[in-house]
Every structure is written in C-alpha cells, then in structure tokens.
C-alpha cells in the first residue's frame, strides 16, 4: 500500500473550504484514497462528512493511503495540495 505522511498547510485545517477543495481533488484523481490521523481510523478521502469528522487541524499530520493502480502519482499530487494549502490540485507531472 502506498502512503504519504503530510503536514496540513491550511491554517484552518481540513474544515469548510479546504475540505471541499480536498474532496474535489480526490474525486478528480479517480483513485480510491483514505485519510487518517497517525494511528487513527482511516476514512474515505472523497467523503466530505468523513473528512470533517476527522477534525484535522492546520499543522497536524495526516496519512494519505491507497493500494490502487496510479496511487503513487495521485498521492504525490494530493500531498502537495495538502502540505502547501493550495486551492486546486496541481497539474500532473
């Protein structure tokens, strides 16, 4: 299973607008991805409610994971989005 540990770059964490940006970006990858706090229960990263329930704050670490084809590239792009607090998914390399 591929995974990336990422520190959240949005000051407000994964709440409201950043959560919506992240969920949209996950859906755009077409890859099933989970997100969790280290040692926590993973939730579907494409679920806004699951993401909000995670309660991830700015500066906290989260773990993005997937075992699907294309996971490495998708996780790299999502990790960049989260760590840099971007407003949209970075272009594919």
> What is the reported pLDDT for 92?
67
Q: Which of 15, 37, 57, 80 is catalytic?
A: 15
Q: How many independent structural domains does the chain possess?
A: 1
| CB contact at 8 A, 65 and 3 | yes
Domain of 70 in residue numbering reads as: 2-84
Asked whether residue 89 is domain-assigned, the answer is: no
Q: What is the CATH number of the domain that holds 50?
A: 3.30.1340.10
Asked whether residue 90 is domain-assigned, the answer is: no
Average pLDDT for runs of 10 along the chain of length 93: 96 92 95 97 97 96 97 96 89 65
Please count the helices (runs of H) and the strands (runs of E) in the chain: 3, 4
> What is the reported pLDDT for 91?
76
Asked whether residue 57 is domain-assigned, the answer is: yes
Q: 38 — phi, psi (to 5°)?
A: -50, 125
Does 70 participate in catalysis according to the annotation?
Answer: no
Angle of the 71-84 helix axis to the 16-29 helix axis, nearest 10? 160
Asked whether residue 92 is domain-assigned, the answer is: no
> What is the reported pLDDT for 90?
80
- Six-digit token string for 75: 């996780």
């Amino acid at each position: 299973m591929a995974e990336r540990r990422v520190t959240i770059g949005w000051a407000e964490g994964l709440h409201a607008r950043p959560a919506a940006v992240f969920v949209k970006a996950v859906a755009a990858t077409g890859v099933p991805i989970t997100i969790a706090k280290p040692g926590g229960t993973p939730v579907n990263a494409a679920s806004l409610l699951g993401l909000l329930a995670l309660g991830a704050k700015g500066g906290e670490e989260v773990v993005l994971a997937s075992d699907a084809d294309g996971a490495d590239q998708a996780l790299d792009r999502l990790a960049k989005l989260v760590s840099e607090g971007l407003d949209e998914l970075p272009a594919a390399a």
